[in-house]
């Protein structure tokens, strides 16, 4: 059976992805910093490990154990991440560093740790759960979008670098997903000073439309199915967008910057007034 190593598996997209891989006959190593959230996956048949993706030594140790126990990693799914929202001026630097350390550096740490083993075995797939915010950023999403933009650029370079080794590098890009993401975003808007001129941005972020997506959101299972399909494809594409909302946001990137900026200002006003 092929083996997948998955980060951020305790809930949401990660849990759905672990279960989808299990249903497709994979050996699943599910990791997360939340030990309690892994218990149910262990009962379902996953091998589970507590993993903090910001810890170099921990990442290397987990990858080594999985390679030793399973004979090698066929797919890595970088899913660990979270959203730190707020205007760029207001979000403290330490919070921005933490955002990048998990969303960007966490994925890079894990990817670097599995590449040598994949190369020795003649191939593998690295799937990173990015976001359409990695292509088109919105006001109030600067720290989060910046981390996802960084993943986009690094993945584009890596994809070409390892192509001759039989290693595929794939980005899966949802927009809104029906998880606890929005609730946690609201929690992280507290604890720092707010500049008065950004009141409308804060009001829009504290509503459900901008962060939750409403009817444009998709289920975690839909994202999980796309991840598994990419892992099992012999010739995956570089990017998979998931859902109508995600496709619409990507297409908005084709608009002139001034037009897109104007539309975003209108949306901020609408969502702040309808909070």
Structure-derived torsion over alpha carbons of residues 122, 79, 243, 154, reported in degrees to the nearest 10: -60
Domain residues for the domain of 64 are 3-273
Share the mean pLDDT of the chain: 93
Q: pLDDT confidence of 245, banded at 50, 70, 90?
A: confident
Please check whether residue 53 is in contact with residue 102, taking contact to mean a CB–CB distance below 8 angstroms.
Answer: yes
Residue 68 CA, chain-centre distance (Å), reads: 27
Residue 20: both structure tokens together: 């989808």
Question: Which ranges of 133-218 would DSSP assign to H, the alpha helix?
Answer: 142-161, 181-187, 199-206, 209-212
Which residues are marked as active site?
144
Q: Label residues 20-59 b or e (16+ Cβ within 10 Å = b).
A: bbbebebbbbbbbbeeebbeebeeeebbbbebbbeeeebb
> Pairing between strand 239-242 and 75-78?
unpaired
Mean pLDDT of 4-28: 97
As a whole number of angstroms, the distance between CA 30 and CA 192 comes to 34
Residue 94: both structure tokens together: 């330490």
Residue 224: both structure tokens together: 């999980």
CATH number where 193 lies? 3.40.50.720
Q: Following DSSP, what letter does each residue of 70-107 receive, concatenated?
A: HS--SEEEE-------S-TTTS-HHHHHHHHIIIIIIH
What are the C-alpha distances in Å from 124 to residues 3, 46, 167, 170, 231?
Answer: 10, 20, 5, 11, 8
Beginning with the edge strand found earlier in the chain, give each strand of the sheet holding 124-129 in spatial order: 47-50, 27-32, 3-6, 75-78, 124-129, 167-174, 239-242
Residue 181: both structure tokens together: 């993401």
Does residue 100 have a pLDDT over 60? yes
Q: pLDDT confidence of 141, banded at 50, 70, 90?
A: very high
Domain count of the fold of the chain? 1
- pLDDT at site 116: 98
pLDDT digits over 26-39, tens only? Answer: 999 999 999 888 99
- pLDDT at site 273: 67
């Amino acid at each position: 059976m092929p083996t997948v190593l998955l980060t951020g598996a305790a809930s949401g997209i990660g849990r759905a992805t672990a279960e989808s891989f299990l249903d497709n006959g994979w050996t699943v190593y599910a990791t997360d910093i939340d030990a309690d959230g892994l218990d149910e996956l262990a009962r379902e048949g996953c091998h589970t490990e507590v993993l903090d993706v910001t810890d170099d030594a921990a990442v290397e140790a987990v990858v080594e154990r999985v390679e030793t126990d399973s004979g090698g990693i066929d797919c890595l799914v970088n899913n660990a991440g979270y959203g730190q929202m707020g205007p760029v001026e207001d979000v403290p630097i330490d919070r921005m560093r933490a955002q990048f350390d998990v969303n960007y550096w966490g994925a890079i740490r894990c990817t670097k740790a599995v590449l040598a083993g994949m190369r020795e075995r003649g191939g593998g797939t690295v799937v990173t759960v990015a976001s359409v915010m990695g292509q088109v950023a919105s006001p109030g999403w600067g720290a989060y979008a910046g981390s996802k933009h960084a993943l986009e650029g690094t993945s584009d370079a890596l994809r070409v670098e390892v192509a001759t080794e039989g290693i595929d590098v794939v980005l899966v890009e949802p927009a809104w997903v029906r998880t606890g993401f929005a609730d946690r975003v609201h929690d992280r808007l507290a604890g720092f000073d707010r500049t008065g001129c950004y009141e409308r941005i804060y009001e829009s972020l504290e509503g459900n439309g901008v962060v939750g997506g409403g009817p444009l959101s998709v289920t975690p299972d839909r994202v999980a199915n796309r991840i598994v399909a990419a892992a099992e494809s012999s010739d995956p594409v570089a990017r998979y967008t998931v859902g109508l909302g995600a496709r619409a946001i990507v297409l908005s990137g084709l608009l002139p910057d001034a037009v897109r900026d104007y539309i975003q200002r209108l949306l901020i006003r609408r969502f702040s007034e309808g909070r």
